[in-house]
């Protein structure tokens, strides 16, 4: 009996002792930042690895000179909207726990000073980041991707990366954009005339991002009302054509140029008031989606576009100008006239 007990204890011991790890001490960072591993002491961080697409947007805005590469391949049209200096950075793949396409050994070989990821700060991604930091011995910074925290995030990350001045400029712009959007939302609320919208996704346009989802957030921030009701998850919802007729939204937004040209010509979609009255809007997707895809800081440009284009007295010319200024500030490069034309269509 004694032997059996000993055997049992021997088998259980590693279970009880295993998998407890110490968390490294972090420098003073905002609570929306979580750092795993330790940062090397140096004046600025010169080699930065973006773990995913939202992080790449953030780094491209703040410190493109330190980026080691892109986590995803660009379509040619999107690549042309990136500043020439960083257009040809290598494609590396993305690093996000289970969904990684970038092998950890390649990460170690790249020797980044810091790995940066941004998105939802839940336990899955926290523990993933922590694990990656532990496996590679490289510091890993996870940042809450909430667009409402954009000014704070840009400022704090700029300070951390040694680009404080740029961070400050971007933060001020982000603050102005969010304030304008908030003012517009209040105005709509006060007059109770918020225009409604439907975000068409999927090959047939009958998938949508329901209200409250992060993928519809940019439009909702500007005070527009999502016709699709929440469904208890962040996933896409399928909608029937009948339901859409019943909702009869004021605006139909899409990110998909293929579907946009299809819907603009099809008699089925012409039954919708928004399409008949020219409020079927293609949201530009270059260099990153303006309203979503990825759901990162790129949405600031979209929020700015929507508030400027729907402001009282807006004309295609004022919209073009407003969008051009912010685009150049964010992306180090003037937008093509094709993008500006697409943006101006909203105030036509």
Residue in 205, 287, 294, 335 binding other proteins, rule: CB under 8 A:
294
Least distance from C-beta 205 to other proteins, angstroms? 16
Site track 59-98 with other proteins (rule: CB under 8 A), x = hit:
----------------------------------x--xxx
Instruction: Using the minimum distance from each CB to other proteins, give the nearer residue, 133 or 340.
Output: 133
Residue 9 in contact with other proteins, rule: CB under 8 A: no
Interface region with other proteins, contact rule CB under 8 A, candidates 119-127, 157-165, 251-259, 324-332: 119-127
Interface region with other proteins, contact rule CB under 8 A, candidates 36-44, 104-112, 150-158, 222-230: 104-112
Q: Is the peptide bond before 294 cis (omega within 30 degrees of 0)?
A: yes
Residue in 124, 189, 229, 321 binding other proteins, rule: CB under 8 A:
124
* Residues of span 224-283 touching other proteins by CB under 8 A: 231-236
CB-based contacts of 150, cutoff 8 Å, min separation 6: 171, 174, 178, 297, 300
Applying CB under 8 A, the site for other proteins has a residue count of 49
* Residues of span 17-46 touching other proteins by CB under 8 A: 17-19, 21
Residue in 87, 126, 169, 345 binding other proteins, rule: CB under 8 A:
126
Residue 137 in contact with other proteins, rule: CB under 8 A: yes
Residue 122 in contact with other proteins, rule: CB under 8 A: yes
Interface region with other proteins, contact rule CB under 8 A, candidates 23-31, 170-178, 210-218, 256-264: 210-218
Residues that bind other proteins (CB under 8 A): 11-12, 14-15, 17-19, 21, 93, 96-106, 108-109, 111, 119-120, 122-128, 131, 134-137, 213-215, 231-236, 293-295
């Amino acid at each position: 009996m004694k032997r059996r007990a000993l055997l049992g204890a021997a088998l259980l011991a590693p279970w009880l002792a295993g998998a407890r790890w110490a968390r490294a001490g972090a420098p003073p960072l905002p609570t929306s930042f979580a750092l795993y591993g330790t940062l090397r002491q140096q004046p600025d961080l010169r080699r930065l690895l973006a773990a995913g697409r939202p992080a790449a947007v953030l780094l491209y805005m703040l410190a493109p000179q330190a980026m080691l590469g892109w986590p995803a391949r660009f379509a040619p049209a999107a690549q042309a909207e990136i500043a020439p200096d960083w257009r040809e950075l290598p494609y590396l793949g993305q690093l996000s726990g289970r969904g990684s396409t970038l092998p950890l050994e390649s990460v170690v070989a790249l020797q980044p000073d810091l790995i940066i990821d941004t998105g939802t700060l839940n336990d899955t991604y926290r523990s993933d980041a922590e694990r990656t930091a532990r496996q590679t011995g490289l510091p890993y910074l996870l940042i809450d991707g909430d667009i409402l925290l954009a000014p704070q995030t840009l400022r704090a990350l700029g300070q951390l990366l040694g680009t404080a001045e740029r961070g400050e400029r971007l933060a001020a712009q982000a603050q102005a954009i969010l304030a304008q959007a908030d003012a517009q939302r209040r105005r709509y609320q006060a007059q109770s005339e918020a225009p409604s919208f439907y975000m068409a996704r999927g090959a047939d346009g009958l998938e949508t991002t329901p209200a409250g989802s992060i993928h519809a957030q940019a439009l909702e921030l500007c005070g527009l009302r999502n016709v699709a009701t929440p469904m208890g998850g962040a996933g896409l919802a399928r909608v029937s054509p009948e339901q859409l007729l019943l909702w009869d939204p004021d605006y139909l937004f899409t990110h998909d140029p293929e579907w946009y040209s299809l819907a603009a010509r099809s008699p089925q979609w012409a039954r919708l008031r928004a399409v008949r009255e020219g409020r079927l809007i293609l949201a530009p997707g270059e260099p990153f989606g303006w309203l979503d895809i990825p759901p990162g800081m790129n949405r600031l440009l979209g929020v700015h576009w929507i508030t400027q284009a729907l402001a009282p007295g807006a004309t295609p010319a004022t919209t073009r100008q407003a969008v051009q200024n912010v685009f150049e500030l964010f992306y180090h490069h003037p937008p093509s006239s094709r993008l500006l034309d697409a943006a101006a269509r909203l105030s036509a």
